[in-house]
């Protein structure tokens, strides 16, 4: 019995020492794991800030790209307008060519003859026949002049259209310059986004490494905790057995005491029956037994 109790006592002390060691190890592992987790969270905060910054540059770049798209649409519309005006010029030139075919005398000669005839009619006395001939010539010249006026009108329109086309081309060049400026600015923002994404990638790799270290330590800490639970349960079993043996030892001792008491009571009763003198202890033991019997 005593050997078993001593063995259990040693086992209890041993498991207590083991539990203390495991608890310290687990706590240290959790502490180290927490540090890695905190480092990972710091990195995640940096990543969040970098993403916010990247979003700002991305928004700027997208706004610039949208402006470029709008300007390109304007250029396309201006090109369409230029094409329309080129077609107008083409039609006007065709009309000029058609009208020129209707003329028989060069414009300069027509104008000189017209002015000469008008002057002659106004300053020279003419008979009816001569006047009639001159008037007929003037009418023919007026027809020629009218054609040349139509030609001049169309040439003026051609000039106006050319000036408008030139103005449209200048607008296109201005828009292209603006597109180049915006594209350069957009490219700068895009480069910043690429740089930030590289930083985020690098930070992400660090965060993954910290997460890996955290999980490694956490797993070991969990395993240590599980071992600690097993040791504590084992200690409880030892303590339970120890208490059971202690209780059994007490019962055995009590049983021996009771057996000894029972023998002494019988001896005292015999002495009492014989009329022999009892010792104080025998008397006290006998009186105690009788009280128990009376009480029961």
pLDDT along the chain (296 residues), means of 10: 73 88 94 94 95 96 97 97 96 92 80 78 74 78 84 94 96 97 96 96 94 94 94 88 78 64 71 75 65 39
| pLDDT, position 292 | 36
DSSP assignment of 15-61: HHHHHHHHHHHHHHHHHHHHHHHHHHHHHHHHHHHHHHHHHHHHHHH
Q: Which of 76, 274, 277, 34 is nearest to 171 (CA)?
A: 76
DSSP H helical ranges for 103-127: 107-123
Per-domain boundaries in the chain: 33-218
CA–CA separation, 56 and 62 (whole Å): 10
CA–CA separation, 197 and 54 (whole Å): 8
| pLDDT, position 293 | 42
Q: Kindly provide the b/e burial profile for residues 178-198, where b requires at least 16 CB atoms within 10 angstroms of the residue's own CB.
A: ebeebeeebeebbebbeebee
Task: Assign a CATH topology to domain 33-218.
Answer: Helix Hairpins (1.10.287)
For residue 117, how many other CB atoms are within 10 A of its CB?
15
């Amino acid at each position: 019995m005593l050997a078993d109790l001593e063995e259990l006592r040693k086992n209890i002390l041993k498991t207590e020492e083991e539990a203390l060691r495991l608890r310290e190890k687990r706590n240290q592992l959790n502490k180290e794991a927490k540090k890695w987790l905190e480092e990972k969270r710091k990195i995640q905060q940096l990543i969040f800030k970098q993403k916010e910054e990247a979003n700002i540059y991305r928004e700027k770049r997208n706004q610039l790209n949208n402006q470029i798209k709008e300007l390109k649409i304007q250029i396309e519309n201006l090109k369409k307008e230029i094409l329309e005006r080129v077609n107008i010029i083409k039609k006007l030139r065709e009309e000029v060519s058609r009208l020129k075919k209707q003329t028989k005398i060069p414009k300069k000669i027509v104008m000189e003859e017209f002015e000469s005839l008008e002057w002659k009619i106004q300053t020279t006395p003419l008979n009816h026949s001569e006047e009639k001939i001159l008037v007929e010539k003037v009418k023919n010249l007026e027809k020629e002049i009218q054609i040349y006026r139509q030609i001049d009108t169309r040439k003026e329109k051609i000039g106006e259209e050319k000036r408008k086309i030139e103005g449209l081309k200048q607008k296109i060049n201005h828009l292209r310059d603006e597109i180049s400026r915006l594209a350069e600015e957009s490219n700068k923002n895009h480069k910043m986004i690429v740089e930030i994404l590289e930083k985020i990638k690098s930070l992400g790799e660090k965060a993954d490494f910290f997460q890996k270290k955290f999980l490694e330590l956490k797993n070991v800490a969990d395993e240590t905790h599980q071992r600690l639970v097993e040791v504590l349960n084992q200690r409880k079993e030892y303590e339970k057995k120890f208490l059971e043996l202690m209780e059994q030892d007490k019962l055995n001792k009590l049983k021996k005491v009771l057996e000894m008491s029972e023998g002494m009571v019988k001896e005292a009763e015999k002495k009492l029956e014989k009329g022999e003198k009892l010792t104080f202890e025998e008397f006290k033991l006998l009186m105690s037994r009788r009280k128990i019997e009376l009480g029961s």
